[in-house]
């Protein structure tokens, strides 16, 4: 099997597509890493459902202020001009279409853009949280994920088999092997690791990968 991208490398690639000044919500867990990889000269404005806009990276260990946390209960710092607001106002921002991008994790993504990303299992967040609001309130929804499950099964499927977070909401998926757009109810391959063939990538994808022009090389730094 081709050496896959690490979570940090997937997060780095997703960060490259965030426009300067975009209002962005990052999902709990793995997606929070995206905030570390702002491209030079660009700065997103990060939003968290518990009521902060304009927070920064995590503080150094031992310097946390536990009154300042994100929705995943991780310590944050504040950027100049950061704002605090009521939980209900935060969700009004989400539902009112004021977020440019939401970047979430996933258990499954279907070729029509359906997303399954929550579980009531013992190791997961014990509810869907704000994800159902985010996937329909944000102007663009992207997913970052390993290309396959821990037991090697595809995460990109013809149809999700798990409970849905949202219907037809995802537009781009950044995986450990490829960058895939969802257009017209199908997966369109945009980039793949140079070391993996199209046939091998298709073999670990649960729906047909379509081509629309040249496929770029998925090249990321060592992180």
Tell me the catalytic residues: 49
CA dihedral 189→191→193→197, nearest 10 degrees, is 40
Task: Measure Cα distances from 219 to 13, 42, 54, 172 in Å.
Answer: 9, 20, 30, 17
Beta strands across the sheet bearing 186-192: 78-84, 52-55, 45-48, 23-26, 101-104, 140-145, 172-175, 178-183, 186-192, 209-217
* Cβ within 8 Å of residue 142, ≥6 positions away: 14, 17, 101, 102, 103, 104, 170, 171, 172, 173, 174
């Amino acid at each position: 099997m081709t050496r896959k991208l690490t979570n940090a490398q997937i997060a780095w690639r997703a960060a490259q597509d965030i426009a300067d000044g975009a209002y962005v919500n990052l999902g709990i867990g793995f997606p929070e890493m995206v905030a570390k990889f702002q491209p030079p000269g660009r700065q997103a404005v990060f939003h968290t459902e518990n009521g902060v806009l304009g927070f920064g990276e995590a503080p150094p260990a031992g310097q946390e202020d536990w009154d300042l946390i994100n929705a995943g209960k991780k310590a944050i710092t504040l950027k100049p001009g950061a704002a605090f607001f009521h939980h209900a106002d935060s969700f009004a921002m989400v539902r009112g279409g004021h977020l440019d991008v939401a970047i979430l994790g996933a258990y499954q993504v279907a070729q029509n853009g359906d997303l399954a990303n929550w579980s009531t299992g013992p190791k997961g967040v014990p509810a869907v949280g704000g994800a159902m609001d985010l996937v329909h309130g944000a102007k663009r929804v992207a997913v970052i994920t390993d290309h396959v499950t821990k037991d090697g099964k595809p995460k990109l499927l013809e149809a999700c088999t798990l409970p849905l977070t949202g219907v037809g909401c995802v537009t781009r998926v950044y995986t450990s092997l490829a960058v895939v757009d969802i257009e017209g109810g199908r997966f369109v391959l945009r980039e793949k690791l140079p070391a993996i063939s199209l046939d091998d990538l298709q073999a670990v994808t649960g729906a047909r990968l379509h081509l629309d022009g040249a496929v770029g090389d998925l090249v990321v730094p060592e992180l």
